[in-house]
Structure formats: structure tokens, C-alpha cells
Amino acid sequence: MREILAEEYPDFRDSLEMQPVTAIRLNPLKSAHLQFAVSDSVPWCNAARYVDTRPTFTTDPYFHAGHYYVQDASSMIILHVLQSLNVASDSQVLDLCAAPGGKSTLLSHHIADTGIIHSHEYSPLRAETLKQNIIKWGHPQYLVTSGNVRQLCKTGSKYDLILIDAPAVEKVC
């Protein structure tokens, strides 16, 4: 790694000793009931905040009610990309490899009630988790499907934008 990173290696090594940073994204459809302290906004996502001290999210009823979503801040860059590309808020978007739902719920910050967010997951088990997270989030224009993506191709559906989590693509087709 030292050879690959060259002069950036010391920063990389030091980063491995740092505490991981936790971020949450607030649901724009629900009030922000937080039982823990947050600090700065994530620069590329106005609805996101860094958490000062990571709580046990699984014991927080507001987490289970979809008032916020725990997501790595770097994953929220998608919202900035959508805005930079001038993707229309009434677009039809397909999110492939969508479980557990981070990208799909993030899309609701940009896609209005007049757009459609189609979240697809290969695994039926993972699709169930995805569906539960989508239901908790509460955006009215979601469609959740599962199975081989080749079946989607046969429907003739058309999308303005397709997102894919490329590392998860091995089981899509």
C-alpha cells in the first residue's frame, strides 16, 4: 500500500487509527425527533448530519419509524450528483441492487410525488428488508420488486435514470 499511495500513505495510515464517522439523513416527510446529539451538516446533503457519539440505533423508536436513516456520508453524494445533472424531480428512476434501501430513500429527497422510484433487488430476502425500509420512509411513489433483472427487461419499462451498486452486481443477472 505504501508504494501505491506514495506521499499519501501517512494520511491513509493515520485514518485507520481514527474513530469511524457516523452520519444520519433526516426524513423530509417526518419531524426530526432525535434522542442523540448531532453536529455539522454533511456538505453535499442538506438533510444529513454527523452524529457526535454513535448511539444504539436499534433501540430508538424514531429510527424504526423512519424519521432518519443511518448512512455513510460518502454514499449521500448521489443527491449532489442528481442535482448537478439537473435530473428532473418528476423522473422515473430505477435503483438496482437496492437493498437495504439507502440509495432509494435518498432518491426521495430529489424525486417528487410526481416521479417514480423503482427499487429492485435480486434476493427476495433482501427485497423484504428493502420493502420494510421503504415503507418506514413513507414516500408515496415507490415500487419494490425482486428477482433476476432480465425479467425487468421484458416489462418494457423505461427510466430516466438507473442507479446501480456495482459491487453488488454479481447476482443481478
- pLDDT exceeds cutoff 70 at 171: no
Is residue 129 domain-shared with residue 162, that is, in the same domain?
Answer: yes
Dihedral in degrees, nearest 10, Cα atoms 166, 110, 73, 56 = -100
Q: Are 93 and 111 in contact (CB under 8 A)?
A: yes
Q: Which of 32, 58, 75 is the last residue of a domain?
A: 75
**pLDDT per residue as tens digits for the range 110-138:** 998 889 999 999 999 999 999 999 999 99
- Asked if the structure places residue 44 within a domain, the reply is yes
CA distance to 40, 42, 135, 139, 146, per residue, from 104 (Å): 24, 18, 11, 10, 14
Asked whether residue 28 falls in the same domain as residue 107, the answer is: no
Domain membership flag for residue 95: yes
Burial 66-91 (b: 16+ CB within 10 A, else e): bbbbebebebbbbbeebeeeebeeeb
Number of domains in the chain: 2
| Average pLDDT over the chain, rounded to an integer | 91
Q: Mark whether 7 and 24 lie in a shared domain.
A: yes
Task: Give the CATH number of the domain where residue 57 resides.
Answer: 3.30.70.1170
- Boundary (domain end) residue, out of 75, 109, 127: 75
